Amino acid sequence: MRRIDLEAQLEQHHEAAFGWALSCCDRDRPMAEDVLQATYLKVLDGRAVFRERSSFKTWLFAVIRRTAAEQRRRRAILRFVPLARLEGRVERRSTAPDPEAVLVSTERTAQLVAALDKLPSRQREVLHLVFYQELSVAESAEVLGVSVGTARTHYERGKSRLRTLLEEPERS
């Protein structure tokens, strides 16, 4: 795929890609931004190559997921680096309103987020891909690197558990 075509595809899927990156990064916005930037660099410099075995979106989401896992491993290693080595590192802050903070502002959304956090990660990932990213269960399986049957099982169990969690009265 030509670079101009790649750029157009990345631009077309940017909003959904950022949502998936947020999910892969446990809603850590700075980490999601870093993951997305690293993903785009991989795509544009040819380290991640789209071979047209799936849709571009499915392939891109798989690259984002792998990049997020790499970032988590890298951050785990950095915890052991002495702070003196990190001197001079500048923290950048976005001045734009945080879309997630706006989203979580409603009570029902906050309940949904809390319930999603109680699900096992694989169930949460499949539900996110199907409901927020509008991928099929089969495409979600491809993104996650599991069989369709496994993804379907996580999807059904996740929906069932989420329904139960949302119906439970809040405990004080």
Residue 99: pLDDT over 70: no
- Dihedral pair phi/psi, residue 32, rounded to 5°: -60, -40
The DSSP result for 4-41, as a single string, is HHHHHHHHHHHHHHHHHHHHHTTT-HHHHHHHHHHHHH
Tokens found for residue 50: 């789209």
CB contact set of 86 (below 8 Å; sequence gap of 6+): 78
In this structure, are residues 18 and 99 in contact, taking their beta carbons and an 8 Å threshold?
A: no
Among 116, 153, 149, smallest CA distance to 131 is for 116
- pTM for the structure as a whole: 0.62
> What does the pLDDT look like over 1-59, one tens digit per residue?
788 888 999 999 999 999 999 999 988 999 999 999 999 999 999 999 998 889 999 99
SS3 for 59?
helix
> What does the pLDDT look like over 54-95, one tens digit per residue?
999 999 999 999 999 988 887 766 555 444 444 444 444 555
- Residue 95's pLDDT is 55
- Residue 85's pLDDT is 45
- Residue 56's pLDDT is 95
In this structure, are residues 33 and 24 in contact, taking their beta carbons and an 8 Å threshold?
A: no
> What does the pLDDT look like over 126-162, one tens digit per residue?
998 998 888 899 999 999 999 999 999 999 999 999 8
Phi/psi region, residue 86 (left: phi>0; alpha: psi -120 to 50; beta: rest), is alpha
How far is residue 122's CA from residue 133's CA, in Å, rounded to a whole number? 15
- Residue 133's pLDDT is 84
> What does the pLDDT look like over 104-134, one tens digit per residue?
556 777 788 888 889 999 999 999 899 888 8
